Chains A and B, each alone.
Chain A
Amino acid sequence: MSVAGGTVLLVEDFDDDVFAFKWALKKADVTLPVQVATDGQRAIDYLSGFGAYADREAHPLPSLVFLDLKLPYVSGMEVLAWIRQRPELDSVPVVILSGSDEARDHEQAASLGAADYVVKPASPADLRRILENL
């Protein structure tokens, strides 16, 4: 599949990490629109078009999700498990973007169906590779 022209949903609570992600995208010359959900519950609300996110014009369904693991309220792993249980989101790949390089996190993410795993900060090269692979 191609994500060209699609929207990227970044699930990230830390402003500076949002900046780092967007800056790396810019350095990688990627100009996809980026939507940000700042906690796990907002990510689920966004993906299910709940409440403020019902307007798909303003909040289009993403073609790719970058998901932090350590999030307020609902953790990244829970969000990942929820996404992978929704048939309508089958075609949306989820890439974990975490500060953790722990083996247990890599293993759990893979077993829950993550498409890739990048340790923060994601470099422009990381992002180019991921977008080319998908």
Chain B
Amino acid sequence: MIATEEHLREVELRLTNQGVDLAAVRAQRRYVTAEAHQTLPLILRDGTPDLDRFNEVIGGLIERASDDCSRLVAFGELVALLCAQGKVAAALQLESFWNDLIRRHPLDLFCAYPMHGFADCAGSELFARICDEHTHVVPCEPFTGGELSEDEKRRTIALLQHKAAAYERELSERTKMESQLRAATQALLPLAAIVESSEDAIIVKNLNGIIMSWNAGAERIFGYTSAEAIGRPVTMLFPSDHLDEETGILSRIRKGERVEHYETVRRHKDGSLLDISLTVSPVKNERGEIVGASKIARDITARKRSEEQLKQATEALAKARSDLEYQVRERTASLTEAISQMEEFSYTVSHDLRAPLRAMRVYSSALRDDFGPLFAHEPDASHYVERIAENCARLDKMIADVLTYGRVARGEFQLESVSLDRLVKESIDHFPALNPPLAQVDIEPLGNVWGHEPSLSQVLSNLLGNAVKFSRPGATPTVKVWSERRDGRVRLCIEDNGIGIDPKYQHRLFNIFERIHPDLGYEGAGVGLAIVRKAAERMGGKVGVVSDGVKGSLFWVELPGAAPDA
């Protein structure tokens, strides 16, 4: 407060009347005074304001009144004194010093000018320029009427004109500010709504770490109401082992830096710990100075938990996969070993088990041939030797069939386009039993299939062999062979006029070692149709039978069709 003694007295009287303890506020340096008449000479050099002196004197006063956290307001009458002395240029000079000072210090400046200083005509320009140097101009002198001379009237009119001009100016200034304020409020409303409705906690704190604002998200996440939180240090949210974080965050904020997506731990009102992702940004006042920080906190406890669960699940999955791979490797190895043992077994069967059988066949033949004359007298002996030879042949055929089944079931397979017409013809030519006069086989054009020729050959010889083997006594076996093409597949049908197969046995027909007609004297080990089915399945096909058990049988094999040979 830089004012005349008279004005200081008036101000202090009013402050005291309003209950202000002047001694106390002086002691707290919240009220600092200087007498205007005594101060003015201190800032002049040769009657003109001097910047160094101004800064020294006025800066000293501001220093004494400065307080970190409160607003500083200065009242000055120095310019008014210069005006009153008619020193217009000096007044304007001093005014510009004040304005520079305001730009450098957080300071609001009130200036007082007695209107009579602008009363003469020469003061009009000065009045306008003084008004331009201020953001607000408020006339405040009461009008004193009474008997006025013409000269006094003219001067009063001039004064009133000046006052009216000041009012108009102030009014337009305020109107402008009001509309700016309204626009700013409008713009802020949605932002305020966003802040309030945000899922995240949005907290503003000052540079001392004191909570200044607290939204509903903060209440939801941390459990404190805004009434409980505002005014308290933000460190109340910090677990004791995280307290040192605040110093680091505040020092970065003071430097104007942001802290982004900082993952840490905070404490709920109920004491439970929360995983939090923090973004802290500096908050600036209208002069661009950092006065606090806004802090957006997101509760990532659930995310952290799911991340942890995901990690555990991923690890469990990886372990399960590696276990599975290990098991697959183990089993593949043991299967491969089993298959190779099986093949070795087959090979052993074909060589070692058949050798004694072969010897028995050779010896029975030799016996018959070399000792024919002896057998001529012993028909029973001849019959026995015959039976030995027949059983040897049968056992040999069974072994051969089992080996064939093994080859079909496990052998290496390469599928190719095979002409059924050619293969059926070759199979028929190979077996006398399929040719006249023993049998009649009629073949329609058949087409090509995808198959493994040696396996397909086995299928055909078994099916055609069966078609004539299970014939009706006394009737010439008659067989019809044709094919049906449907949806890219070829169904080969072989129909005979034999004894048929009772439908109640048909489900067992394609099993290995099944013999449906053992009592009827038909030869066979019960392997042939098992070979047919296994071969068809390995070629991607199926087999089936249709028979009413009386009027012959129809066997079919369905395989993927192939284009005919070029």
- Chain A contact residues, CB within 8 Å of chain B: 14, 16-17, 19-20, 23, 27, 70, 98-102, 120-121
Would B358 and A121 count as touching, CB distance under 8 A? yes
On chain B, the residues within 8 Å of A19 by CB distance are 359, 362-363, 366
A72 to chain B, nearest CB (A): 13
Whether B362 and A23, one on each chain, are in contact in the complex, defined by CB atoms closer than 8 angstroms, is yes
Q: What are 27 residue pairs bridging A and B, where the CB atoms are less than 8 Å apart in the complex?
A: A14-B355, A14-B359, A16-B355, A16-B356, A16-B358, A16-B359, A16-B362, A17-B355, A17-B359, A19-B362, A19-B363, A19-B366, A20-B358, A20-B359, A23-B362, A23-B366, A27-B369, A70-B352, A98-B351, A99-B350, A99-B355, A99-B358, A100-B347, A100-B351, A101-B350, A120-B358, A121-B361
Contact A102 B361, beta carbon cutoff 8 Å:
no
What CA separation (Å) do A109 and B523 show in the bound complex? Answer: 34
- Tell me, yes or no, whether B354 is within 8 Å of chain A by CB: yes
Interface size on B, residues (CB 8 A): 14
Contacts of A101 in B (CB 8 A): 350
Point out residues on B near A: beta carbons under 8 Å.
Answer: 347, 350-352, 354-356, 358-359, 361-363, 366, 369
Distance between A77 CB and nearest chain B CB, rounded to angstroms: 13
Q: CA separation between A27 and B351, bound complex, in Å? A: 25
Interface residues of B, dominant DSSP: helix
Shortest distance between the CB of B340 and any CB in chain A (Å): 13
Q: A16-B363, A23-B366 are in contact. Are A70 and B358 (CB under 8 A)?
A: no
User: In whole Å, how far is B515's beta carbon from the nearest beta carbon of chain A?
Assistant: 25
Does the CB pair A99–B369 fall under 8 Å?
A: no
A47 to B347, CA, bound (A): 29
Minimum C-beta distance from B385 to chain A (A): 15
Contact B350 A20 (CB under 8 A): no
Residues of B within 8 A of A14 (CB): 355, 359
A19 to B359, CA, bound (A): 9
A99 to chain B, nearest CB (A): 5
Q: Which residue of B lies closest to A19 (CB)?
A: B362
Smallest CB gap from A15: residue in B: B359
- Max count, chain A CB within 10 A of own CB: residue among B351, B354, B356: B351
Inter-chain CA distance A16–B392, complex, in Å, is 15
In the complex, what distance in Å separates the CA atom of A19 from the CA atom of B369?
Answer: 15
Across the interface, do A121 and B350 meet the contact criterion of CB distance under 8 Å? no
Partner of B354, one of A23, A27, A99, A102: A99
Known: A14-B355, A16-B359, A27-B369. 8 other contacts (CB 8 A): A16-B356, A17-B359, A19-B363, A20-B358, A23-B366, A99-B354, A120-B358, A121-B362
